[in-house]
Amino acid sequence: QESAENGKDKQTESKNEKVTVVLDWTPNTNHTGLYVAEEKGYFKEEGLDVEIILPGEAGAEQLVASGKADFGVSHQETVTEARVQGLPVVSIAAIIQHNTSGFASPVEKNIKSPKDFVGKTYGGWGGPAEKPVISTLMNAEKTNVDDVSFVNMGETDFFTAVKRDIDFAWIFYAWTGIEAELRGEKLNMIYLTDYSKNLDYYTPILVANEGKIKDNADQVKKFMNAVSKGYNFAIENPAEAADILIKENPDLDAELVKKSQEWLSPRYKDDASRWGEQKQEVWENYTKWMFENKVLEKELDAKSAFTNEFLPK
Amino acid sequence: MAVLTIEDVSKKFAETEIIKHLNLQVNEGEFVSILGPSGSGKSTLFSLIGGILTPDSGAIMLQGEKINSKTGSISYMPQSPSLLPWRTVLQNVLLSQELRGPKDEKKAEEMIEKAGLGAYIHAYPDELSGGMKQRVSFIRALLSPQPLILLDEPFSALDELTRLDMQKWLLSIWEENRRTVLFITHNLEEALFLSDRIIILSSKPAEVVADYKIPFKRPRAEELFLENEFLEWKREIYHKIKEVME
Amino acid sequence: MAVLTIEDVSKKFAETEIIKHLNLQVNEGEFVSILGPSGSGKSTLFSLIGGILTPDSGAIMLQGEKINSKTGSISYMPQSPSLLPWRTVLQNVLLSQELRGPKDEKKAEEMIEKAGLGAYIHAYPDELSGGMKQRVSFIRALLSPQPLILLDEPFSALDELTRLDMQKWLLSIWEENRRTVLFITHNLEEALFLSDRIIILSSKPAEVVADYKIPFKRPRAEELFLENEFLEWKREIYHKIKEVME
Amino acid sequence: MSGRLLKGWRPLVVLILFFFIWEIVVKKAGIPAWLLPAPSQIIQEGIASWASFSAHLFSTIKLGTSGFLIGITIGLLTAAILYLIPVVRESVYPLLILSQNVPVIVLAPLLVIWFGFGMLPKIIVITLVCFFPVTVAALDGFKQTAPDLKHYMRMAGATRGQLFWKLELPHALPSIFSGLKISATYSIMGAVISEWLGAKAGLGVYMTLASSAFRTDRVFVAIFAIMFLSLLFFGIIILIEKLLVRWQSKGAK
Amino acid sequence: MSGRLLKGWRPLVVLILFFFIWEIVVKKAGIPAWLLPAPSQIIQEGIASWASFSAHLFSTIKLGTSGFLIGITIGLLTAAILYLIPVVRESVYPLLILSQNVPVIVLAPLLVIWFGFGMLPKIIVITLVCFFPVTVAALDGFKQTAPDLKHYMRMAGATRGQLFWKLELPHALPSIFSGLKISATYSIMGAVISEWLGAKAGLGVYMTLASSAFRTDRVFVAIFAIMFLSLLFFGIIILIEKLLVRWQSKGAK
Ligand SMILES: Nc1ncnc2c1ncn2[C@@H]1O[C@H](COP(=O)(O)OP(=O)(O)OP(=O)(O)O)[C@@H](O)[C@H]1O
Ligand SMILES: Nc1ncnc2c1ncn2[C@@H]1O[C@H](COP(=O)(O)OP(=O)(O)OP(=O)(O)O)[C@@H](O)[C@H]1O
Ligand SMILES: [Mg+2]
Ligand SMILES: [Mg+2]
């Protein structure tokens, strides 16, 4: 039976366009739509043969920029940074409408607002925007970022880190926050969006190569059709979508996926007219903020960094 | 008939003259020994004959043909047995032929048998004693088709008793085959026991200072060492060497 | 007076008897050589005397004291010079004293000077020739305070001419100091030239088969080698050895 | 052979003792599994997840093997060229040494960006860690050809080619094998690193997945698998050596 | 010494040629800097960002040095114990070899989990990569003590202690130094890996910052800095060796 299936796969392979998507990290509920589109055959319907790969240490942005991958999962702050450095990557959809990330810490640490960061240790991953973001949050409460100790925590996961020398870290609530709920560990969350409207940027997003958008718009269109369908399915059927993600990634903790999906599904589209919609205002605000906070070396034309053109009507 | 003729050969290393206007002749079927102080240039002379060094001047003639810097025209047995450790005794013996052309396995087996190494024909060198290795090395040189065999202190690394054994053995094999041999040694008794002629070299730069014809009749036996005639020859050559060294 | 007395000593390795009921005596100021076939157990005997092996039975007495498996009671000079490469000549010479107690630097310097190595007193062994290294090794043994010196084939790795030089040198130094010496050699001429007594060991298991008193008067000179009396002694002992080996 | 086995009992006892203490400590001190799983848990997990795990394992074996073969081929060729052409040796060898100081974990992501997710960048990584020990060992082996053997061969009239094939190469074999042993263990590590930095399957990927799923027990399964593979490769090389370099073991008797 | 310098010109020429071709290719083919910066850009960036870069550099040097010192101390002690107590050697040595197959990049995150982000886990990582080459080399050196020297010393009445201090240890020095040379280069790599997996400063952190800001030029600055540091450490060890193992260089003359 299996060999028959393989045979069928080979046949379709020859017809379909081969497309690779690089994730931003290990598979999680941010990626559900992609897996749904794959599992439900939405990609096949569009004549695409999609392979989803993990990025490892090489960033998805560079891989998309160098053409080694067709599409990638990224974040607005990264794309902005990448474009300033000359990487030809363009955002083609916002996976989640609003920024659901924030600074988390176990309640024992008593970090309830940014002013409590003073004297504490932040565990980061070496992103250029980390310090300015924390600075912005702290400035709002008249405290100084220099009083925070920064540690690059590399591969270490949040729960381990906060048991060691780290006091707070930057997490996606949908994943790590839900995991904490499941573990019964109480967290204090400080959401970025609560402190600055500028920081309500798109994270995560889907990106494609600038050249590809020009030369192979057709493929991008097909890809986005399928992905939209995938995420819309996940929005309407959180439970079933979660099952698909679990099935595709059996190593994931099923309970976490289910709860996370339940939390995240309504937030994919949120208040937007359609899934994936990006507003110029969001891009401009954040880009301006980045430039003002010296994260960017030069100003960036926010308009060229994203497009809604490939989203299905 | 002269198998080897060395005509007015000189050799310098950098600025040091090692060999200077050397003349030497080895005849068909002769066993000639060369005695000389350490560092006088005996091994250098062999390298010249073997063709891996080129004389600065002069000619080296083998059977009338000039062999200056031509390798492979002589057969060679060095001081250390120089057997390839990954080859069996038989394969080692065949090596010198292998380098030059077709192999004669039959004859090799025969010779090994005759040398009393029949039981070790497929053994690796590591399984042999020092004396046995030197036997193999000598058989290898014997089986090589060239008209002249050079032996450079073949027994100097052996202990006294093995050495005596080997001298007797070499003599018996040689007296059967009568190949032309040029033999370097430090040991006067050894030279007297084995040779038809003994050539004394001066210290650096090497020149021939004496050329003795040794009259002991063949086949020679071990008792020769203890005869008075032997002691007299020894005395004479010994005084010559002392003279040279001063 | 007996410095060393070996009484009925036996030694087995696994199931092989190497030394069997050996009796031997070395007197004060005597130079005694031991001759025996290779593998007969001469070095084993030295290890027993040196205390790094224990006899299975019998006693080894040094100046009346039993020294079975007691190290450090004798002075030793091995076949290879065994100089520590990171020590200068002087530091090497002092080593044997250093192991046993206080050092006498003055005397060491004197001896090195006398041995003609004055210019090399602060040189490292690598800068010395083979013969020079053996001189240092012998001085080291001489300077060690113990009453008996064991020499295990000290010259067998040297070439013929250096070896002769060393024999003469050793003799001259020894005739000045007259320390008690037990000397292993393979070389009959060497033994005759140097010794007061020559002891012949049988092949494994080692027993004393002959004990010759050598009457040549001292000081001895190089010419001894070429005298007829020498040849006669050589003949006699040579026949004895042949007998033993069969 | 049985002597070998008997000699091996000591380390085995120590090893078993080590696991035993580990188990006891974890159990008694109630250390949570995400921090340090007990050996028994690791073994259970290894057996339970064998089905999904084995695919990763074989992928790594395949990658490691092909990388190793390519790496040592390049390594041997390099050594031969460096040895036979002195000018090349003098001008390139110091740079090869320098190349070994290039941090692989930094270079690997760049390789993925340059060459994509295919086999190429992975093979480059493994080759980079594999070829050098072989090159150095082979070069050493060639160089250390006993000068008396070389002198004999030349006096006996050997050509340059005969000298290399009949003397220098076989003479270097034991040395080459000690290089191969190092390369063999490196190749597994190289494969894991390259997978870790971007791949679809393999122990490196399995580890990434395991650690992001907070499955420390699986991380340990991977660690043990890597150690086992390294030993296996090492053992295979020793076996081949035993078959090829027989004259030495005979001599050692 | 001048002979040495003269001998060095060939690789230098090749190296310069290599950089020259790299520069030309990047310029002519118009390769963007984020993909592969030209050497000139890398040098410029290195000079321009020296102020912020040097702090990271010195942090790595400090970490590498302390890890190296601790690692080799442990390595030498281990070797001495293994050598002097045969039972320990037989039961522990095979396990030490096994320990070298534990993949550091996998172990390092676990070390952080167990010991936090302080110095301890970093020192453990560096020690783990450093101690083994020294142990193996020292053990080899001890074992290969010329048997005739050993026999002489014992016959001359040396005690076990005298044998070790006066013979075996000095005899092993050249071998120990070749182990130290390997360990020295490993220590830098170990420091970078451990920083990369969690630290406040150091080349590992600098690299992470650089690559997440798509500053490939800075990644290369870090690569070159790591290579330079490795060479520097290597050179320092050679210098110390020259001072300590003088009898050999004299002999070689
Ligand atoms: N390749 C070389 N380059 C420079 N000098 C050399 C070379 N080969 C030998 N010599 C020198 O030439 C001299 C003669 O050396 P050779 O080996 O021929 O002497 P020998 O008579 O064979 O000595 P021995 O009896 O010790 O074997 C020595 O002083 C040696 O140092
Ligand atoms: N530690 C040992 N274990 C087993 N057998 C040994 C040991 N040491 C020596 N033998 C054996 O004991 C015998 C005597 O050895 P020994 O070295 O004493 O001989 P020798 O008379 O000194 O020989 P040579 O003249 O060659 O130096 C030899 O057969 C040797 O193989
Ligand atoms: Mg010579
Ligand atoms: Mg002996």
- One pLDDT digit (tens) per residue for chain A, 313 residues: 344 444 444 444 457 889 999 998 888 999 999 999 999 999 999 999 999 888 777 778 888 998 889 999 999 988 998 998 889 999 999 999 999 999 999 999 999 999 999 999 999 888 888 888 999 899 888 999 999 998 888 777 788 888 888 899 999 899 899 999 998 999 999 998 888 888 899 989 999 999 999 999 999 999 999 999 999 999 999 999 999 999 988 878 889 999 999 999 999 998 899 999 999 999 999 998 888 888 888 888 888 999 999 999 7
Note the pLDDT of residue E54. Answer: 93
The superfamily CATH assigns to domain B2-74+148-245 is: P-loop containing nucleotide triphosphate hydrolases (3.40.50.300)
In terms of residue numbers, what domain contains D104? 41-252
Residues D114 and D193 in one domain: yes
What single DSSP character describes residue D213? T
Share of residues in chain C with pLDDT > 70 (%): 100
Note the pLDDT of residue B115. Answer: 86
Q: Which residues pair with A51 in a beta bridge?
A: A20
Cβ atoms < 10 Å from Cβ of B23: 12
Q: Hey, which of C13, C35, C185, C244 would you mutate to test ligand 2's pocket, going by the most ligand atoms within 8 Å of its Cβ?
A: C13
| Lookup: tokens for B40 | 């006088």
Contacts of residue D69, Cβ cutoff 8 Å, sequence gap at least 6: none
User: Is the pLDDT confidence value at D117 over 90?
Assistant: no
Residues D7 and D91 in one domain: no
Measured in angstroms, the CA of E159 and the nearest CA of chain C are apart by 8
Angle at D83 between CA D144 and CA E175, to 5 degrees: 40
What average pLDDT does the structure give for chain D? 87
Is the CB of residue D148 less than 8 Å away from at least one CB of chain B?
yes
Residues D102 and D170 in one domain: yes
Distance C86 CA to ligand 1 centre (A): 28
How far, in Å, are C36, C203, C237, C238, E242 from residue C242 at the CA level?
Answer: 11, 11, 9, 6, 55
Chains C and A physically touch (3 or more Cβ atom pairs below 8 Å): no
Q: Using 50, 70 and 90 to split pLDDT, how confident is the model at E42?
A: very high
| Lookup: tokens for A219 | 């493929």
Which stretches of E6-74 are assigned E, i.e. beta strand? none
pLDDT tens profile B41-90: 899 999 999 999 999 999 999 999 999 999 999 999 998 899 999 999 99
pLDDT tens profile E14-24: 999 999 999 99
Tokens 């974040």 correspond to: A75
Q: Hey, which of C9, C20, C43 would you mutate to test ligand 2's pocket, going by the most ligand atoms within 8 Å of its Cβ?
A: C43
Note the pLDDT of residue A284. Answer: 92
Sites in chain B below the pLDDT cut of 50: none
Rounded CA separation A201/A284 (Å): 10
Note the pLDDT of residue E1. Answer: 40
| CATH number reported for the structural domain that contains residue E181 in this entry | 1.10.3720.10
For chain E, how many residues are written? 253
What average pLDDT does the structure give for chain C? 90
Burial A259-295 (b: 16+ CB within 10 A, else e): bbbbbbbebbbeeeeebbbbeeebbbbbbebbbebeb
Is the CB of residue E30 less than 8 Å away from at least one CB of chain A?
no
Rounded CA separation E205/A305 (Å): 28
Note the pLDDT of residue C76. Answer: 94
Residue nearest to ligand 2 atom 8, measured at CA? C44
What single DSSP character describes residue B206? B
Residues E110 and E171 in one domain: yes
Residue in E closest to C94 by C-alpha: E156
The 3 state secondary structure assigned to A89-144 is: EEEEEECCCCCCEEEEEEHHHCCCCHHHHCCCEEEECCCCCHHHHHHHHHHCCCCC
pLDDT tens profile D171-208: 999 999 999 998 998 899 899 988 877 777 889 888 88
How far, in Å, are A126, B220, C26, C155 from residue C196 at the CA level?
Answer: 87, 33, 10, 18
Note the pLDDT of residue B14. Answer: 87
Closest by Cα among B142, B140, B168 to B155: B168
Task: Establish if E169 belongs to a structural domain.
Answer: yes
Overall domain count for chain E: 2
How far, in Å, are A24, A284, B195, E53 from residue A287 at the CA level?
Answer: 21, 5, 101, 27
What average pLDDT does the structure give for chain E? 88
Is the CB of residue D231 less than 8 Å away from at least one CB of chain A?
no
pLDDT tens profile E61-95: 999 999 999 999 999 999 999 999 999 988 888 88
Distance C13 CA to ligand 2 centre (A): 9
Return the domain boundaries, chain B.
2-74+148-245, 78-145
User: Is the pLDDT confidence value at C153 over 70?
Assistant: yes
Residues E120 and E238 in one domain: yes
Tokens 């007395």 correspond to: C5
Phi (first) and psi of residue B33, to 5 degrees: -105, 145
pLDDT tens profile E169-200: 999 999 999 999 989 988 998 999 888 877 88
What single DSSP character describes residue B107? H
Note the pLDDT of residue D4. Answer: 52
Q: Hey, which of C42, C47, C201 would you mutate to test ligand 2's pocket, going by the most ligand atoms within 8 Å of its Cβ?
A: C42
* pTM (2 d.p.): 0.84
Task: Establish if E201 belongs to a structural domain.
Answer: yes
Note the pLDDT of residue B240. Answer: 86
Task: Establish if E170 belongs to a structural domain.
Answer: yes
Q: Which residues pair with A73 in a beta bridge?
A: A206
Residue nearest to ligand 2 atom 1, measured at CA? C13
DSSP-derived secondary structure for D71-95: HHHHHHHHHHHHHH-HHHHHHHHHH
Tokens 């995400």 correspond to: D34
**Of D90, D102, D216, Cβ closest to residue E227:** D102
User: Is the pLDDT confidence value at D155 over 60?
Assistant: yes
Task: Establish if D36 belongs to a structural domain.
Answer: no
Stretch D5-31: mean pLDDT = 86
Note the pLDDT of residue E85. Answer: 93
Alpha helices in E85-244 (DSSP H): 86-99, 104-115, 119-143, 147-155, 160-162, 169-196, 203-212, 216-244
Closest by Cα among D234, D203, D224, D222 to D133: D234
Pick the residue with more confidence: A244 or C162? A244
Q: Which A positions 140-169 lie with beta carbon below 8 A of chain E?
A: 149-156, 160-161, 164-166
Note the pLDDT of residue D49. Answer: 86
User: Is the pLDDT confidence value at C94 over 90?
Assistant: yes
How far, in Å, are B155, C162, C173, E53 from residue C129 at the CA level?
Answer: 22, 10, 19, 56
Chain C residues closer than 8 Å to E248 by CB: 85, 126
Q: Using 50, 70 and 90 to split pLDDT, how confident is the model at D245?
A: confident
Q: A273: part of which helix (H) or strand (E)?
A: none
Q: What is the ipTM of this complex?
A: 0.82
Among C67, C99, C156, most E C-beta atoms within 10 A, so best to mutate, is: C99
User: What is Dmax (Cα atoms) for chain B?
Assistant: 52
- Does ligand 1 lie within 6 Å of residue B38's CB atom? yes
Residues D219 and D97 in one domain: yes
Pick the residue with more confidence: C95 or E253? C95
